[in-house]
Amino acid sequence: MSLSGKTVVITGASKGIGAAAAYEFADAGANVVLMARSGEAIAEIARKIGDKALAVPCDVSRYGEVSAGIDAARKAFGSVDVLINNAGVIDPIGPLAESDPKDWGHSIDINLKGVYNGIRAVLPQMLAAKSGTILNVSSGAAHGPMEGWSAYCTGKAAVAMLTRATHLEGSEAGLRVMGLSPGTVATEMQVKIKASGINPVSKLEVSDHIPADWPAKALVWMCSAEADPHLGQEISLRDEGIRTAVGLLND
């Protein structure tokens, strides 16, 4: 699919992978709708991109706000062709036995229910149009437990299943659904992880993490027919074959 003139909605677009993806998709010719709680940050990114960008302040844990954001995207650009479910939090970090139930539940509200909310808001229109791409940003934590990350691992594991379920229900109608596990990325989240001192990931150095534009470029590539063999699956940027296909090995 050519992204020229297509509309891409990105959650968690104020920083990190989401912000990098906004620039990459805009460079590919797409209209970009940035959704995040930080209204000032996404407004600044939208200003830099120009007329083909729209900033929509939104808390993904609240379905009404997500649905209203999708409606705003359609009103501005006519349709939503691609949804990037990127918003996520690492907190709370700490032992499960000492976890705060409210904080643990809020992590699930963002990392899992936030993804559901995005899918639920775009799915009826995409099914009716028999066209659309949904990409869920996942994590290696979805497939292996990490000490201190019980909420994060659980939410991401559930998103991996949600990706498969959405593909099962949407593929016959022509929807393209995939997950992306980017590995460790040099974002603000890694600063929190480093400060926690919990589990091996916190011991990594900044140089061990990939730049945010790598997963951003991968998300653009996942909108192309080249990625179709991976529909319904979660691809990993730790896979050298995927990096080669995206064109990252020489970066």
Backbone angles phi, psi at 108, to 5 degrees: -65, -40
C-alpha 107/C-alpha 139 separation (Å) is 15
**25, 163, 69, 23: CA torsion to nearest 10:** -10
175 contacts 134 by C-beta, under 8 angstroms:
yes
C-alpha 68/C-alpha 63 separation (Å) is 8
How many residues appear in the chain?
251
Catalytic-labelled residue, pool 23, 63, 116, 152: 152
Q: Is 23 a catalytic residue?
A: no
C-alpha 201/C-alpha 184 separation (Å) is 8
Active-site residue set: 152
